Amino acid sequence: MSIVDFDNLTDNEPDAIPVVPSAPMANGDSIPTSFDPKRLRGGRLERLRGMMAEQGYAAVVLFDPNNQRYATGSRNMFGYFLRNSTRYIYVPLEGPIILFEYPGSAHVSTWLETIDEARTSKVVWSAVNQRDNMSSDPFGIEIAELIEEHGRGNRKVGLDRCTLNLARSLEAQGLDVYDCMQDTLHCRRIKTPEEVACLAQSMAASEAAVAEVEAAIKPGVTENDLFAIMYGNVIQQGGEFIETRLLSSGPRTNPWFNEASDRVIRPGELVALDTDTIGCHGYYSDFSRTFCVGGRPSAYQQSLYRMAYDQVHHNMNILAPGVSYREIAERAWKIPERFLDRRYPSIIHGVGMHGETPLVAHHMDFDRFSKDGVLEPGMVVSVESYIGEVGAADGVKLEEEVLITETGVEKLSRYPFDEALLGR
């Protein structure tokens, strides 16, 4: 299956873009997977500008590729610009949105109705050529001129990420410079219906990839063999990339966070994975499963799996709109003492274009890692579990992704659990 990525077409005629109505699927699926791409882009931009008005920004300058895509639908050489922050998009509260692009590639995005103008980046290649000090002033002057033209006297500008010299160059022009990353992420916490459809498509594609992995699990294959199968399926289905390499086997399942290696898988072992996939349309798919390699799992493996299963489902059951993050931490499934040292860092975390707001840590870690807030309809979160103890050979990783609705939650991840590991 190949999924059309409406945010990365290069057709110069926007009218040629197929518009799919936002409607339930014919099979009665409760979460629609079809959407209007223009409505997707328009809804996200409206939310971003609503945040800007609330926070008093005249403009934001977006360097982060995820924020760029959220604001405009524009994507270009995603991985490259994750490490090389030289492409940026100027988004004013009022006025034209201007893309400052890598030379020769503006055509990738100028067909979008959300891009009013394209110019060449002032800072492209500056760091590799030791030209940062030479390029920062032209950058600051140009942005200041735009804000002078469109800001109606407001001098507050947000930067989601950039080098120190660029922030100083804006301040030298008399602008009030703020880090807007947390404001942007907070804005993105609520998903529009079109975003939920994107997340549902991304999840279905990732589940198909995991099904291929599960079918390939047998003694003699390596962790890298299985990870390659998953990654290949993600790309075939229009995905971007997998953020982590979290696929491990046997004694490498405990502790968690060992990444895929050339280890050969043996009979009777566990294989655990976490999808962590930026999939089709740039939306994240994040669920985890653990499998047994042939034969009947041991009683100990089954006990680990049952605990992880109970933890995920107990914690899903306490999620509802209006429930505070601290209440989630306090009411969460109680991890047995001997498994506490290797608990997963979070109970839930937000999901959107990647792992997002909120992150709710366990009650003993809450004040160190989390800030209180409440669940709201339209949030999408992943519910985490890892069960493993110090000195043992096995660990189990399970995770589900859910949509917060007006009344509770609805599952986005629907991949079946392992019946043998559940002891059924």
State pLDDT tens for residues 330-354: 999 999 999 999 999 999 999 999 9
State pLDDT tens for residues 360-377: 999 999 999 999 999 999
What are the distances in angstroms from CA 300 to CA 205, 206, 273, 347? 32, 29, 19, 23
Q: Binning pLDDT at 50, 70 and 90, where does residue 124 land?
A: confident
The pLDDT of 124-150, averaged and rounded, is 85
The pLDDT of 93-104, averaged and rounded, is 96
**Same-fold call for 36-187 versus 193-411:** no
Strands (E), 17-86: 59-62
State pLDDT tens for residues 9-52: 544 433 333 333 333 443 456 787 889 999 999 999 999 999 99
Domain ranges of the chain: 36-187, 193-411
- Is 98 in a helix, a strand, or coil? strand
- Is 117 in a helix, a strand, or coil? strand
Amino acid (one-letter) located at 54: E
Third-level CATH fold of 36-187: Creatine Amidinohydrolase; Chain A, domain 1 (3.40.350)
State pLDDT tens for residues 222-277: 999 999 999 999 999 899 999 999 999 999 999 999 999 999 999 999 999 999 99
CATH of the structural domain 193-411, one choice from 3.40.640.10, 3.90.230.10, 3.90.1150.10, 3.30.43.10: 3.90.230.10
- pLDDT at position 27 is 43
- pLDDT at position 399 is 98
- pLDDT at position 7 is 63
Mean pLDDT of the chain: 92
DSSP label of 120 = E
What H or E segment, with its residue span, contains residue 403? strand 395-404
Residue 113 has pLDDT above 60, yes or no: yes
Q: Binning pLDDT at 50, 70 and 90, where does residue 1 land?
A: very low
The percent of residues in the chain predicted with pLDDT above 70, rounded, is 92
Start-to-end C-alpha separation, the chain: 33
Are 90 and 148 in contact by the 8 Å Cβ rule? The answer is: no
Q: Binning pLDDT at 50, 70 and 90, where does residue 104 land?
A: very high
Amino acid (one-letter) located at 89: I
The percent of residues in the chain predicted with pLDDT above 90, rounded, is 84
- pLDDT at position 3 is 60
